[in-house]
Structure 1
Amino acid sequence: MSDMIQHLPAIALRGTTILPDMIVHFDVSREKSIKAIEKAMVQDQRVFLITQRDPQTEEPSQEDLYTVGIIGEIKQLVKNRKNMVQVLVEGKQRAELVRFDSEDVYLEAEVALFEEEEISLDENVKEAMLRGIKELFVRYCNENTKMSKDLAGQILEIEEIEKVIDQIAVNLPMKYEDKQKILEAASLEDRYETLGMILSNEIEIMQIRIDLSNKVKERVDKNQREYILREQMKVIREELGDQDTVSEADRFKEQTDKLKASKEVKEKIYKEIQRFQNAAGVQAEAGVARSYIETLLSLPWDKASRDNKNLKKANKILEEDHYGLEKVKERIMEFLAVRTLTKKGESPILCLAGPPGTGKTSIARSVARALDKEYVRISLGGVRDEAEIRGHRRTYIGAMPGRIANGLIQAGVKNPLVLLDEIDKVSSDYKGDTSSALLEVLDAEQNKKFRDHYVEIPLDLSEVLFIATANDLQTIPRPLLDRMEIIEVSSYTENEKSHIAMEHLIPKQVKKHGLKKEQLCIEEAALHEIIAGYTKEAGVRSLERRIGEICRKTARKILEEKEETVTVNKENLENFLGRARYTYQKKNETDEVGIVRGLAWTSVGGDTLQIEVNLMPGKGDFLLTGQLGDVMKESAQTGISYIRSVAEKYHIDADFFKEHDIHIHIPEGAVPKDGPSAGITMATAMLSAITEVPVKADVAMTGEITLRGRVLPIGGLKEKLLAAKSAGIEKVLIPFENQADVEEMEKEITEGLEIVPVKTMEEVLKQAFAEKK
């Protein structure tokens, strides 16, 4: 080791080792390394290059580096834009790292140079080493086909052992750890032994890799050969009539023998099995036949489940699962009673119609549980293709049964409960009329022999209990609607929502959020506030979400604040749900001219509409604003025509309508409104504005008007009365023909309301107009 010590800027290399006479490009991005290069360029362009033991280390210390590196000369320097420098360096001389002098701005290393000793080796020894290393190199080149032949030829032409070793080491693709071993080898013999060991290891690894590759190839060739032989055997078996399909056909026959089905069905399956055997040589045809036979065998032709005949048990289950819904429960109990008496009866086709969130789908699930029936849900929302219902014909590629047949396969019995969800949202296009396809399913006279295009054999659907759900009956085609028994699932009252929340929603959400019953208490007053101020819906879907929100915040309080019980009351409700989102528009404080409160039905329950009328001098124009639909506009036109026809009775000047403009507006102009039930409301408001007689503030009304002033019946009365109660209305005018609807309602809905049935506009005005001040 030389006593010569030098101080040079140093760069720690990652995953790279540079050897003497090696010219290499590398990128430098570390700030200290860039500073070291700049320092070297200012001095004599020499830099000390040393390799990191672990390339992942970002700020290496002396312990993280190898002890031997190389002094290199910077030949070229290119600065890139992205804080990176590209350097071209030539390795010059080995050196050993003594220590680092500075680590602040850049690494400055104190290095000891290796002495350039005259190595006196016998010429024979050198020749032996030269031949040995060349022989190893030739073997390496033979194994490694990627090695350049020109480069290998140039190296083999060198006759000096030192240069041969250096050139092989420089040009051989090896790991930086191996290059580091060669760099650390001080003498020629050490470098020869190190390089020889590396070459030998590489040759052995490549031979093992080639052996493994050959074994894999042999195995693949063997598999290919076996495949060809199997195919040949298959052809021979086909020629002899001894095919694999024989055993499969036998299995199908055994299953057909055990199948609970009529003689006609079994004969059809046997014919298809015979066709399957004949198609053994044609893969595509055999595959189609196999799928068809498997479908026929999986259908429950005569397999039925035994219904629950215990009326008390069924009634108990229905009461447990749902609060209210008396009409639905009563109809199911009637069906069960008839089925018990007759042993077998045609299953009704029920349609539960009502707003979203009122529990139509969950009712069907409860009915299935109460009757011990298998439950199958078929979603019809957005179904356009008739083949979705009837199935595809077998001539099509990828043909399959329709949803009804698949539902029976899923149920495994021929008398399940099938829920046809969202039947009002089926549509039609060029692929067929989906609603018409459902006619055969839901017609009691036709569904005994329902034909699925794929199955082809008639299916008996008469014992299937079909329950359909719909939000809006108006969108269901009349022939389809005629085949179903409609059961209205109307909006829930506030009291019903409170009961449903206490008995069903709160326990369900508490369990769902991992809470215990005693950890959360929602007071009744707070629950009423949630229903009134945080939800505006006919059902309880939003209410369940709000309860879920409270449960999530409760879970967090229990974990973070270590509270044992969380109580939600009216005072702290805002902490859980924020400010109230909805307020019902209350009745006006005073009687006003030209302002009348109407009642409307919406998809989320009932609401009140304040209709305003203004008169202005003009040319007899008639303005309607507030996003009114066509039906509502026609009701307004009918109302003004009625008023003009009775103008003399109310002392209205004959030229009044020529000299004044009438403007009708319904607030919340961004919300579309339509329907006939605002006819008497708009007529009353217009007549009030024209005669300047105020309308009572505590009166609301609903009904359709005719040109002669008759009041026609309307729908959605329950929701409208609930909206009137919420607005603080005391008197409600309804069409005389809707009295029967009022009699069927619970006392809870009508209590506190004076409901006045009216037949004509004279009766409406008599009840609505206040005394002139």
Structure 2
Amino acid sequence: MTDKEIIVPLLPLRGLLVYPTMVLHLDVGRDKSVQALEKAMVEDHLIFLTTQQDVSLDEPGEEDLFKMGTLTKVKQMLKLPNGTIRVLVEGLNRAEVVEFYDYETHYGAKIKIYEDSDEKDAEHQALMRTLLDYFEQYIKMSKKITGETFTSTSDIEEPGRLADIIASHLPLKLKEKQEVLETIDMKKRLSRVIEIINNEKEVLFLEKKIGQRVKRSMERTQKEYYLREQMKAIQKELGDKEGKTGEIEVLNEKIEEADMPEHIKAAALKELDRYEKVPSSSAESSVIRNYIEWLIALPWSKATKDDLNIHKAERILNRDHHGLEKVKERVLEYLAVQQLTNSLKGPILCLVGPPGVGKTSLAKSIASSMNRNFVRISLGGVRDESEIRGHRRTYVGAMPGRIIQGMKKAGTINPVFLLDEVDKMSNDFRGDPSAAMLEVLDPEQNHNFSDHYIEETYDLSKVMFIATANNLGSIPGPLRDRMEIISIAGYTEIEKLHIAKDHLLPRQLESHGLLKTQLQIREEALTKIIRYYTREAGVRSLERQLAGICRKTAKIIVSGDKKRVVISDRNVEEFLGKTMFHYGQAEVENQVGVANGLAYTSVGGDTLQIEVSLSPGKGKLILTGKLGDVMKESAQAAFSYVRSKTEKLHIDTDFHEKYDIHIHVPEGAVPKDGPSAGITIATALISALTNRPIRKEVGMTGEITLRGRVLPIGGLKEKSLAAHRAGLTKIIIPQNNEKDIDDIPESVRKALTFVPVSHVDEVLEHALAGADE
């Protein structure tokens, strides 16, 4: 055996290995490999081939290549249409990298060449005969190699070449082929190939044995069962982790890692055992697998660590929201108690208020201030109990309810969970979803919440639930009883101005690609937009109007007309058109038979003008304006009270026989209902009958009895905001509502005069002009 060293170009191979004396085609596409081939063709057609240890690398380094490879001669090169080169090479000798060169254009190496010696003693002969004998037996068992291959192989007289050729015909892994290539000594090489081929014979024998075993079971099964049993047997004998066995092991590992409670883990493993026994083609197989994957995906113990820094939470809440002091105070109280006890169950808050006042965004800020994950589900239009509790697995397409889906999305057991539009749920023959929510929102029950699909209990006690609703009256009583109601009435004009400047305008500038220097909206312009282009409790319409200004500004700037736009109260109409609303609905002068009522609607407070007119007739009472039953009853009660007090009020005792009385509430297309217009209707009626005008700056709200008592009402804060928007300065309220004045924003309290009353006589004293003269 002799050896020498030469420097030649190097070509890395992926998933392929060439033995000496082998002739084969290679497709070469990498730039450095193509350059190495071209350099070899320019010189002596010699190139060194070695195999990559990791086939995924496009640019392997020295440490990524096997040291031992094959020196080959390039016999032919052909460029293919797709840009790759097909090359025919012939293996010459084993060679080992002595020094690796990474040139700019290609790889090269100084290699040490090993040549097989011509020595052939009796031991060589014996090893060669044994190898050929084993090879012949393997060919007969395998039936994948032709007899001609054995004939041509048996004529080889060189021991090393014989070992190489036979190794190249065996279905070996790359590492085993490389091991043969790295064996320089011919006797050791022959022995190693004999050992390998003997192992392959045993594998073939086992395959045959497995085939016979499965064939016997064929009598009691079908073809599919036979294939499955064959696969199982192969996996068992060879230790193969692929197929369903491997899949079950992966699922088993995931169940172990999911950190489930013991009873849940036991249920999951029981289902996994069923899954293993059910045929893959069965419909039940996918049902079981989906169920197991849901159990694995749900958070059972993973939780985020609460950030209980009250000062930081207060900063975040104040940064994201202007006003809403009561809600912020409640959240900070919860954090304080949590910090002291570290065991408080998650509270269930219900934010009630008109659209656009920031209920959803407030819930996000709460999650951010507590360092908890946030998840939201919308309950608007939900009519089916299964939407909440899930479907039983016996149904086709069954899946968990929205609560469990939300917990999976949250990924932790203690998120802030927003139940949006809880007042929009309805019910039909499929069940009442609001009844299903009772268990979710009951702190005494939700640690054992049961979903029909999951079937096992799930702990919701660490979740902080926040519900939102527009109308408290639409929430069923039992559900309302389980929640802490926090009312968000709406914003004053001053608060809207701050929100527009600090939140809405910067957000719209960013979303429209505008800089602060390109668009400036002055404060008086914002005030005008709030007064004359929006009428709402929230700020959604205000944001839409600001978006409209941003769009028009973007067009002006892109077209090159101006580089900077300034909006003042003088040019607002150029961008938004004519004003949509009239700010201040108070009458210009005192009117007879026209009273300013205050109403609470689903979109906040509003003013309500109630008109009464008299015409000659026979005492008919006409009510118009799309009034609800309760409001009609209030009108009847007011009418009866006036009839009972005709002498005291200096009204003709037989007025009901002389006149038809028409009570009308304008905007007849809008449904109106509620008892709080009682004193307003009575005042307008008395004004019309006595011909005394009602003060234009006075608004009023209160329920009336037949004896003239004024009963308390709800929504005073919302009604006060509406009165302030409408330009009223004095509000008559029931005596029992005096305690609610503290909830009204300070700026509104200072602008309004509140007059608590307990009887209609007091109402008339303050409402009718000239009554105190």
Residue equivalent to 1:61? none
Supply the distance in 1 between the matched residues of 2:634 and 2:583 (Cα, whole angstroms): 26
Q: Is the 8 A contact 2:584 2:728 kept in 1?
A: no
SS of corresponding position for 1:383: coil
Cα separation, 2, equivalents of 1:303 and 1:340: 20
Extract structure 1 runs of 4+ deviating beyond 3 A. Answer: 228-232, 235-244, 651-654
| Structure 1 partner of 2:313 | 314
2-side partners of 1:557 and 1:758: how far apart?
Answer: 56
* Structure 1 Cα separation of the partners of residues 602 and 444 of structure 2: 34
TM-score under structure 2 normalisation?
0.68
In structure 2, the partner of 1:683 is 682
- The structural deviation recorded for 1:415 is 0.8
- CA shift for structure 1 position 556: 1.4
Partner of 2:209: none
1:371 to partner: Cα distance: 0.9
Q: CA deviation at 1:231?
A: 7.9
Residue 234 (str. 1) matches residue 233 (str. 2): no
- C-alpha distance in 2 between matches for 1:275 and 1:455: 16
Using the alignment, how far apart are the partners of 2:260 and 2:668 within structure 1? 63
Matches of 1:724 and 1:703 in 2, distance apart?
Answer: 14
Higher mean displacement: 256-265 or 498-507 = 256-265
Matches within 5 A, 1:554-565: 554-565=553-564
Partners of 2:570 and 2:642 lie apart in 1 by 51
Do the aligned residues in 1 keep the contact of 2:422 with 2:469 (CA within 8 Å)?
yes
Give the alignment of 1:578-593 within 5 angstroms.
578-584=577-583, 586-593=585-592
Instruction: Please tell me the residue identity of whatever aligns with 1:576.
Output: F
Equivalent position of 2:141 in the other structure: none
Alpha carbons 2:353, 2:604 under 8 Å: kept: no
1:633 aligned partner = 632
Structure-2 separation of matches of 1:387 and 1:723: 41
Q: Does 1:530 align with 2:529?
A: yes
By how many angstroms is 1:436 displaced?
Answer: 0.4
TM superposition shift of 1:239: 8.4
Contact 2:594 2:611 in 1 (8 A): yes
> How many Å apart are 1:341 and its aligned residue?
1.4
Residue 495 of structure 2 is matched in structure 1 by 496
Measured at CA, do residues 340 and 474 of structure 1 come closer, stay the same or move farther in structure 2, by a change above 3 Å? same
8 A contact 2:470–2:603 mirrored in 1: no
1:752–1:261 Cα change, 3 Å: same
Query: Secondary structure at 1:536's aligned position in 2?
Result: coil
Residues 585 and 608 in structure 1, CA contact (< 8 A), matched pair in contact too:
no
Give 1:694 deviation, angstroms: 2.5
TM-aligned CA distance change 1:654 to 1:358, over 3 Å? same
Deviation at 1:740, TM superposition (A): 1.1
Superposition map of 1:130-529 within 5 A: 233-237=227-231, 244-280=243-279, 283-529=282-528
Distance in 2, matches of 1:656 and 1:462, equals 65
SS of corresponding position for 1:770: coil
Offset at 1:533? 0.6
Q: TM-score, normalised to structure 1's length?
A: 0.68
Tell me the SS of whatever aligns to 1:545. helix
In the TM superposition, residue 380 of structure 1 has moved relative to its aligned partner by 0.6
1:4-31 deviation digits (Å, cap 9, x = unpaired): xxxxxxxxxxxxxxxxxxxxxxxxxxxx
1:635-674 map, 5 Å: 635-674=634-673
How far, CA to CA, are the matches of 2:589 and 2:277 in structure 1? Answer: 90
Query: 2:641 touches 2:706 (CA, 8 Å); kept in 1?
Result: yes
What are the ranges of 5 or more consecutive residues in structure 1 without an aligned counterpart? 1-227
- Contact 1:534/1:581 (8 A) holds in 2: yes
Q: CA deviation at 1:391?
A: 0.7
Deviation of 1:562 (Å):
4.8
Residue 610 of structure 1: how far off its partner (Å): 2.0
Residue in 2 that maps onto 1:203: none
Q: Residue 132 of structure 2 corresponds to which residue in structure 1?
A: none
User: Counterparts of 1:532 and 1:603 in 2: how far apart (Å)?
Assistant: 20
Q: How far 1:399 sits from its partner (Å)?
A: 1.0
Measure, in 2, the Cα distance between the counterparts of 1:281 and 1:567. Answer: 69
- DSSP-derived class of the 1:352 partner: strand
Any conservation in 2 of the 1:238–1:281 contact (CA below 8 Å)? no
What does 1:606-755 correspond to in 2, within 5 Å? 606-755=605-754
C-alpha distance in 1 between matches for 2:345 and 2:475: 23
Aligned to 1:46: none
Query: What is the distance in 1 between the residues matched to 2:592 and 2:557?
Result: 56
- Residues 576-598 of structure 1 deviation map (CA, whole Å, 9 limit, x = unaligned): 11111111353223333222221
Q: Deviations over 1:276-306 (max 9, x none)?
A: 1121365222211111111111111112111
Aligned residue for 1:495, secondary structure, equals helix
Superposed CA offset, 1:118-147 (max 9, x none):
xxxxxxxxxxxxxxxxxxxxxxxxxxxxxx
Secondary structure at the counterpart of residue 366 of structure 1 = helix
User: How far 1:235 sits from its partner (Å)?
Assistant: 4.8
CA displacement at 1:448 relative to structure 2? 0.5
Residue 230 (structure 1) shift: 8.5
Shift, 1:653, TM fit: 3.5
- Distance (Å, rounded) in 1 between the aligned partners of 2:586 and 2:500: 29
Give deviations 1:361-419, integer Å, cap 9, x for gaps: 11111111111111111111101111111111111111111111111111111111111
1:483 offset after TM fit, Å?
0.3
Amino acid across the alignment from 2:447: K
* SS in structure 2 of the partner of residue 268 of structure 1: helix
- The AA in structure 2 aligned to 1:236 is Q
Q: 1:388 to 1:726 in 2, by over 3 A?
A: closer
Structure 1 range deviating more: 554-563 or 341-350: 554-563
Deviation of 1:743 (Å): 2.2
Cα offsets for 1:675-711 (capped at 9, x unmatched) = 2111101111111222223222222211111111111
**Contact (CA 8 Å) 1:538, 1:603: kept in 2 or not?**
no
Partners of 2:362 and 2:304 in 1: CA distance: 20
1:504 is displaced (CA, Å) by 0.4
SS in 2 for 1:677: helix
Matches within 5 A, 1:50-69: none
Q: Match for 2:291: what amino acid?
A: Y
Q: Is the 8 A contact 1:536 1:604 kept in 2?
A: no
Q: Which moved more, 1:428-437 or 1:623-632?
A: 623-632
Q: Distance in 2 between matches of 1:405 and 1:558?
A: 49
Residues 252 and 728 from structure 1, CA distance in 2 versus in 1: closer, same or farther, beyond 3 angstroms? closer
Q: Write the distance in 2 (CA, Å) between the matches of 1:389 and 1:550.
A: 42
1:184-226 CA-to-partner distances (Å, cap 9, x unmatched) read xxxxxxxxxxxxxxxxxxxxxxxxxxxxxxxxxxxxxxxxxxx
Indicate the RMSD between aligned Cα atoms, in angstroms.
2.0
CA apart distance, 1:232: 5.2
C-alpha distance in structure 1 between counterparts of 2:253 and 2:483, whole Å: 41
Separation (CA, whole Å) in 2 of partners of 1:508 and 1:600: 33
Identify unmatched segments of 5+ residues in structure 2: 1-221, 237-241
Partners of 2:532 and 2:717 lie apart in 1 by 20
Aligned-partner SS, 2:676: coil
TM superposition shift of 1:261 = 1.9
Aligned residue for 1:600?
599
TM-aligned CA deviation for residue 446 of structure 1: 0.8
Aligned positions, number = 546
Is 1:765 aligned to residue 759 of structure 2? no
Paired with 1:357 and 1:509, the residues of 2 have a C-alpha distance of 16
Whether the aligned pair in 2 keeps the contact of 1:731 and 1:753 (CA below 8 Å) is: yes
